Amino acid sequence: MKLLLTGGCGFIGSAVVRHLLRHTDHIIVNVDKMTYAASEEALEDARTDRRHVLIRADIADAAAMRQVFTTHQPDAVMHLAAESHVDRSIDGPADFVQTNVVGTFILLEAARAYYEALDAGRKAVFRFHHVSTDEVFGALEADDPPFCETTPYDPRSPYSASKAASDHLVRAWQHTYKLPTIVSNTCNNYGPWQFPEKLIPLVTLNALEGKELPVYGDGSNMRDWLFVEDHAAALVRVVEQGKPGETYAIGGRQPRTNLQVVKAICAHLDSRVPDPAGKRERLIRFVTDRPGHDFRYEIDPTRTEGALAWKAPHDFEAGLAKTIDWYLANTAWWRSVRAARYAGQRLGAKTERAA
């Protein structure tokens, strides 16, 4: 297939690009606005692969999106482009509404116009796969069952509200216009090339540099964790095998509290790169919780595992070890990112907190 993939220079998108080139024969048209969190380096070998083309464009630019469909004639869309950092959404929600809601609407309209002009054979195989988050479902209490495909929506932050809105738009275009759409919802991802403001790279890099490791509240907030390469494999299964109108919940079955994650990072670093000043857990600091901080997210991926013959192969410990080792081996990349993005400024209190 020829796949139109949005956000392919982002953390998850670049993992999908790498997976596609290594494990399939598909052709990739990668549309990315190249915001602060995008990295062309994360494409790795894709930068010179003839099956990959990068187009620098904004999904909210209607003319540009129409041109992409007209020029490249994709067989399917994988829509990953999104603003995704909760703390940033609290400080500045406008960008989240513009990209996640307006951008998705513009992309859907471009896809609809393109789809309606296809012949019957190409219509039969076309898919619009929208990649979303478990945060649209709200928060779980300690004894609640995990989220699944039928969990009611209850978003709590500007980020999750914008993603919930985009999910609803995608499903509405399926029901109203018969555009063959698919939605997948996932849990917290981690792995190589993740932007340093997110929990695992932030804690890893701060701990390496002997900086404080701020943790919201008492660290008891819980998340389900999925290694990004496992998620990429699942997303490709969804676009290849998923049925229009369906939702697929993609999870790793690896719930951990934020404090457990921070301590695991400290322990791994202590074993790999001992700190002469002592165990890195000494750097943990508990800080005032952020507004509307959801207590727990967890996904039940049972239906997806059965429907797509997929199951996340990495447990959290194995994935974390690979992730930390990658950051240890790629200091030039993350140092340049920090220097370029945060030159002359200290990370804001909300951005720098670990969870």
CB 180 within 8 A of CB 114: no
Contacts of 298 (CB under 8 A, 6+ apart): 134, 140, 146, 147, 187, 222, 223, 224, 251, 255
Is pLDDT of 286 > 80? Answer: yes
Catalytic annotation, pick one of 32, 58, 87, 135: 135
Query: What is the model's pLDDT at position 342?
Result: 54
More confident residue, 347 or 79: 79
Q: Where are the beta strands (DSSP E) in 116-268?
A: 127-133, 181-186, 188-190, 213-216, 222-227, 247-250, 255-257
Both tokens of 35, joined, read 């915001």
- Judge whether 153 counts as a catalytic residue: no
| Bridge pairing between strands 2-6 and 181-186 | unpaired
Query: What is the model's pLDDT at position 181?
Result: 98
Q: What is the pLDDT of residues 229-274, one digit of tens each?
A: 999 999 999 999 999 999 999 999 999 999 999 999 999 999 999 9
Average confidence (pLDDT) over 282-291: 92
Query: What is the model's pLDDT at position 290?
Result: 80
Is pLDDT of 220 > 70? Answer: yes
Query: Which amino acid is located at 45 in the chain?
Result: D
Catalytic annotation, pick one of 58, 83, 87, 159: 159
Q: What angle do CA 101, 103, 108 make, to 5 degrees?
A: 95
- Judge whether 317 counts as a catalytic residue: no
User: From CA 62, how far away is CA 67, in angstroms rounded?
Assistant: 9
Percent of all residues in the chain with a pLDDT value above 90, rounded to a whole number: 90
User: From CA 351, how far away is CA 211, in angstroms rounded?
Assistant: 15
Average confidence (pLDDT) over 325-350: 74
Average confidence (pLDDT) over 129-135: 97
User: Confidence band (pLDDT; 50, 70, 90) for 351?
Assistant: very low
Both tokens of 178, joined, read 């018969």
Contacts of 327 (CB under 8 A, 6+ apart): 192, 201, 204, 205, 208, 334
CB 326 within 8 A of CB 275: no
User: Confidence band (pLDDT; 50, 70, 90) for 96?
Assistant: very high
Segment (H or E) for 22? helix 11-23
Q: Shortest CA distance to 6 belongs to which of 224, 235, 248, 246?
A: 235
Query: What is the model's pLDDT at position 349?
Result: 33
Average confidence (pLDDT) over 222-228: 97
Is pLDDT of 197 > 50? Answer: yes
Query: What is the model's pLDDT at position 355?
Result: 47
- Judge whether 159 counts as a catalytic residue: yes
Catalytic annotation, pick one of 32, 83, 87, 134: 134
Percent of all residues in the chain with a pLDDT value above 70, rounded to a whole number: 96
Please name the CATH architecture into which domain 2-191+226-252+295-314 falls. Answer: 3-Layer(aba) Sandwich (3.40)
**Sign of CA pseudo-dihedral 56, 60, 63, 65:** positive
Query: What is the model's pLDDT at position 59?
Result: 98
**Predicted TM-score of the model (pTM):** 0.94
Query: What is the model's pLDDT at position 291?
Result: 82
CB 5 within 8 A of CB 13: yes
Q: What is the pLDDT of residues 144-189, one digit of tens each?
A: 999 999 999 999 999 999 999 999 999 999 999 999 999 999 999 9
User: Confidence band (pLDDT; 50, 70, 90) for 348?
Assistant: very low
User: From CA 1, how far away is CA 13, in angstroms rounded?
Assistant: 17
Query: What is the model's pLDDT at position 185?
Result: 98
Query: What is the model's pLDDT at position 87?
Result: 86
CB 244 within 8 A of CB 181: yes
Q: Which residues of 309-322 are buried (b: 16+ CB within 10 A; e: fewer)?
A: ebebebebeebbee
As beta bridge partners, residue 127 has 76
